[in-house]
Amino acid sequence: MKILIVGGGMGGTILANNLARKMRNELKSGKTSITMLSASDKHMYQPGLLYVAVGKMNPSEMYRDQVSLLEPSIEFKVDPVTEFNLDDNNVKAKSGATYNYDIIVIATGSRTHAEGTPGLAEYAEQFYTEADAVKMYKKLEAFEGGKVVVAVGVPHKCPMAPLEITFMLVDYFKQRGIWDKVQLHYTYPIGRTHSLEPVAKWATPEFERLGITYETFFNMKEVNENVVMSEEGTEAEYDLLITVPAHKGMQVIEDAGLGAGGFIPTDRKRLNMEGRDNVYVLGDTTNLPISKAGSTAHFEAEALSENIASIATIGTATRDYDGKVFCFIEAGDGKATYAMFNYLTPPDPKAPTAGIHMFKTAYNKMYWASARGLL
Amino acid sequence: MADRKIVDAKNTFCPGPLMELIANMKQAEVGDELLVLSTDEGSANDIPEWINKVGHEVIESSEDAGVWSVVVKKIK
């Protein structure tokens, strides 16, 4: 059986490693092969971007060689897919090569779509690529005071990012001794300060305690120099605009017509592409109405690796993905908390503590064990 | 009849039914109708509130066995 994994991010990497361990004998005998195609020979720890943006992490700390994270039995190629031929069970890649498969897993991730909001790329700061995070830090470094606005697009990767960057900005300005010269204004697309109601119930009083003003039902429509307008007809003036831009799936997914906005229609339990029984989808690439986050990809990959191994050996899947998500929430002031939930159990976040912040700091290093499928 | 896309946000907490609707509304064409399915009681209020603020239209809203169905139309 030929298993082809497209994408070398968190989901694809954990899936590949778990499969390689579960199917050690089949790989050794040559009955099964696992091939991963990626656009890069490097693997980025994407949550590190948040820290780079406020000068708390050096960009080089975010990267490892992808091949160093993979089990030796996995064939790894830097050869991004350019064409999906799902009816013929093959893909074509940038090198011109064609890769056949029996099972394909698409885990190509998502990207910011700043161009979807006029003026955003020109006037706003963002932190979803290394270049953008470094640029944002340099802008912060030169900032001496004024009104800072945080604005959020939909959908976006990492639902905690809007709150985390806000609280981390407070710490940043306090540490520079200019917090008293900053007016921080937080905006959010729906009618409370976070999509998770228990998180909003914690965050809103924190805003009030810290003197952060906020506006809900604010969806960015257009950004001009020093003012951002909302779809709801309001506007916020700024001296520095920090944004979480709307995201899309990868262009190759859109070009192949696999899903609107680059997000592939996916079964929420078995993670197969709707209407296909040998095409699976992981992480940000799905159209599932759940958090676009590394932990989502992680837990999906755990379920899917068990199912693919079962399909390869006994001919049928054995478990469902239960919608599990776990998100740390950096709360500033050296504290953090977390939200954990699944399709049936809502989150119940506790008060932030220094201990959870220390654990999150440790996880920034432990991630590499997680990507190897060891954690 | 206009296209009616189903946004099935039942049994999900984050980003939640309204955020899913906002994301899907961006991909919709003017005149399209979207049916949001939600198990969050708050959807019966916050979806119409947002729709009214932005200037779209709520076509109908109902509840059956703990599932709220809200049909909206993209106006602009």
The pLDDT value given to residue A177: 98
| Nearest Cβ partner for B14 among A116, A260, A290 | A290
Query: Is the pLDDT at A375 greater than 90, yes or no?
Result: no
Reported pTM: 0.96
**Residues on chain B touching A154 (C-beta within 8 angstroms):** 15, 19, 22-23, 26
Whether A361 contacts A57, CB under 8 Å? no
* Average pLDDT of chain A to the nearest whole number: 97
* Beta-carbon separation of B23 and A290 below 8 A: no
Contact in structure between A137 and A313 (CB atoms under 8 Å): no
Q: Where are the beta strands (DSSP E) in B1-76?
A: 4-9, 33-38, 57-64, 67-73
What are the DSSP calls for A164-188, one per residue? Answer: HHHHHHHHHHHHHT-GGGEEEEEE-
**Looking at beta carbons, which residues of chain A come within 8 Å of B13?**
195-196, 341, 346-347
- CB nearest to A190's CB, from B7, B8, B50: B50
Q: Does B39 touch chain A (CB under 8 A)?
A: no
CB distance from B18 to chain A under 8 Å?
A: yes
Sheet containing B33-38, strands listed edge to edge, beginning at the edge strand earlier in sequence: B4-9, B33-38, B67-73, B57-64
Q: What's the token pair of residue A32?
A: 């099964």
pLDDT in tens, A337-346: 999 999 999 9
- B17 CB neighbours in chain A (<8 A) are 289
pLDDT digits (tens, 9 = 90+) for A19-54: 999 999 999 999 999 999 999 999 999 999 999 999
Maximal C-alpha separation, chain A: 67
- Asked if pLDDT for residue A301 goes beyond 80, the answer is yes
* Cα–Cα dist A329/B43, whole Å: 25
pLDDT of residue B41: 84
Pairing of strands A110-112, A235-237: unpaired
Write the pLDDT tens digit of every residue in A158-180.
999 999 999 999 999 999 999 99
Q: By a Cβ cutoff of 8 Å, what residues of chain A touch chain B?
A: 116, 154-155, 159, 189-191, 195-197, 217, 219, 231-233, 246, 260-261, 288-291, 323, 325, 339, 341, 343-344, 346-347
Amino acid at A16: A
Binary contact (A154, B16; C-beta < 8 A): no
Q: How near does any CA of chain A get to the CA of B35, in Å?
A: 14
Task: Find the distance separating the first CA and the last CA of chain B, reported in whole Å.
Answer: 18
Query: Would you state the pLDDT for residue B3?
Result: 65
Res B2: pLDDT = 55
pLDDT of B1 over the 70 cut: no
**Which pLDDT score, from 0 to 100, does residue A205 have?**
96
User: pLDDT tens digits for A229-239?
Assistant: 999 999 999 99
From CA A23, how far away is CA A25, in angstroms rounded? 6
Q: Is the minimum CB–CB distance between B27 and chain A shorter than 8 Å?
A: yes
Task: Say whether A214 sits in a helix, a strand or coil.
Answer: strand
Which class for A97: exposed (0-12), middle (13-18), buried (19 or more C-beta within 10 A)?
Answer: exposed
Query: pLDDT, tens digit, for every residue of B9-54?
Result: 999 999 999 999 999 999 899 999 999 999 988 888 899 999 999 9
CA distance A341 to A356: 17
| A347·B42 Cβ contact <8 A | no
